[in-house]
Amino acid sequence: VCMTAYPHVPFRPGRLPAAEMVGRGVEFLDQMNRRRSVRVFTDEPVAREAIELAVRTAGTAPSGAHHQPWTFVLVDDPALKRRIRAGAEAEEREFYEHRAPPEWLEALAPLGTDWRKPFLEVAPYLIVVFRHAYRIGAGGTHLKTYYSTESVGIAVGLLIASLQTMGLCTLTHTPSPMEFLNAILGRPENERPFVLLPVGHAAPHATVPDLRRKPLTEICVWNGGPP
């Protein structure tokens, strides 16, 4: 059993003046608040470097026991994108036409989505995020990971924020079930598909639903709220 402690090193994160602290927060909120889930992309190329920067940013996420239980598979090969689209559309067709309970379809109706996923071929990149359900130890033993779902969720949040700061658009797409992605991308059994993100630029004719975000007063209470 490996139980060597990390050596500790000094950490001096530095401080901002109060006004700059708030100013940066306002600026970041404004930038994140401009993000919308996009379902119609252009095939315009995007620098690979931008995608790798977003993944490096995602990789800074905190994770249970620092196991970093994630793999980001970057796809720009047209043949692979075509196979992923075919796999996703087969599952989605089944979902929309048979599997989804009426209540779920009702919840989705305002978004106007259906089983067709052309963006999986049109967007220049797909990022397929895998969560490590366990780790493979010496001799092929299975070792636990901790809070892997939470960890990967945080990482994907950072990924999306990074893409947004670079002026790129994405969609958090979850074809269900997603096991077909292991077969197409050759990922091992311990890696579970978590989310699939097409990345690129929004088509000039793209529209998004006119959603409203809950204001602070609806998502936040101080100290347990009024008595």
Chain residues in the site for ligand IYR (CB under 6 A)? 92, 108, 111, 113, 173-176
Nearer to ligand IYR, 52 or 114 (CB): 114
Alpha-carbon gap, residue 50 to 19, rounded angstroms? 31
* Smallest gap from residue 217 Cβ to ligand IYR (A): 25
Could you count the other beta carbons within 10 Å of the beta carbon of residue 192? 20
Nearer to ligand IYR, 113 or 149 (CB): 113
Residue 96 is encoded by which pair of tokens? 């929309």
Nearest CA to 181 out of 168, 170, 197, 169 is that of 197
Nearer to ligand IYR, 110 or 224 (CB): 110
* Smallest gap from residue 106 Cβ to ligand IYR (A): 12
Alpha-carbon gap, residue 59 to 10, rounded angstroms? 22
* Smallest gap from residue 53 Cβ to ligand IYR (A): 26
* Smallest gap from residue 113 Cβ to ligand IYR (A): 4
> Which residue type sits at 160?
I
- Alpha helices (runs of H) in the chain, residue ranges in sequence order: 18-33, 48-58, 78-94, 102-108, 119-122, 148-165, 180-185, 216-219
* Smallest gap from residue 59 Cβ to ligand IYR (A): 26
Measured at CB, which residue is nearest to ligand IYR?
Answer: 113
Please, are residues 64 and 145 in contact by the beta-carbon 8 Å criterion? yes
* Smallest gap from residue 152 Cβ to ligand IYR (A): 17
H or E segment at 128?
A: strand 125-132
Backbone angles phi, psi at 208, to 5 degrees: -130, 150
Nearer to ligand IYR, 31 or 176 (CB): 176
Nearer to ligand IYR, 21 or 208 (CB): 208
Could you count the other beta carbons within 10 Å of the beta carbon of residue 70? 24
**Please, how many CA atoms are within 13 Å of residue 124, restricted to the half-sphere of its CB?**
15
Nearer to ligand IYR, 69 or 198 (CB): 198
* Smallest gap from residue 89 Cβ to ligand IYR (A): 10
- Cis before residue 110, ω within 30 degrees of 0? no
Nearer to ligand IYR, 92 or 191 (CB): 92
